[in-house]
Structure 1
Amino acid sequence: MKIIHLQAADSEGPTAAELAEIQQEWPLIAAELDLLDAEIAYINAGPAASALDRRRIRRAERQVLAVTRELADSDVLTDGAA
């Protein structure tokens, strides 16, 4: 019988660079979570979904696109400076 030794999960935490990347991408993560919340509310409303529910989804989609554009623009600027 082989025993597989796994390192403890707490011995391998994210590096400072990984944490910085997560921090930079956090606005996109938050925007995507807002979109997911809007979609869940719409699905749960079922046939009773209102125009306001649909508007909330469209607004959240636009926010995801706006944040994605901002991140893409900042990546271009960062890559060009390197």
Structure 2
Amino acid sequence: MTTYDREPSATELAEVEQELPLIEAEVLLLDAQIVVLTSDSGPTELDWQRLRRAQRRVLREARDLLAVRSAANRAA
């Protein structure tokens, strides 16, 4: 296990904040997957819609984050 004896820097905190929309989207996707996999009577159409919507959101957030990072790398 790694231990840290310092606080995160402002840059590190900014990076985490930048990734937060993707992290939140991944949590929603995981929630939707759990519902689909554990539904006793089988997933409903609404469950499938929720799953597809969550998948699209993860892809959108990942694309947006990649675009921001690519632009930052080109500027540097």
TM-score range, shorter chain: 0.7 to 0.9
Is 2:47 aligned against 1:67?
no
Q: SS state of the match for residue 48, structure 1?
A: coil
Structure 2: distance between partners of 1:46 and 1:81: 52
When Rg is computed on C-alpha atoms for both structures, the one with the higher figure is: 1
Q: Note the alpha carbon deviations across 1:9-60, whole angstroms, 9 max, x for none.
A: 6x43222211111000000000000001111111121442112111111110
Structure 1: runs of 5 or more not aligned: 1-7
Which residue of 70, 73, 76 corresponds with 1:76?
70
TM-score calculated relative to the size of structure 1:
0.80
Normalized against structure 2, the TM-score is what? 0.85
Backbone CA RMSD of aligned residues: 1.6
- Aligned to 1:59, the other structure's residue is in SS state helix
> What's 2:16 paired with?
22
Identical amino acids, percent of aligned pairs: 42
Q: Structure 2 stretches of 5 or more lacking a match?
A: none
1:36: which partner in 2?
A: 30
Q: Which amino acid aligns with 1:76?
A: S
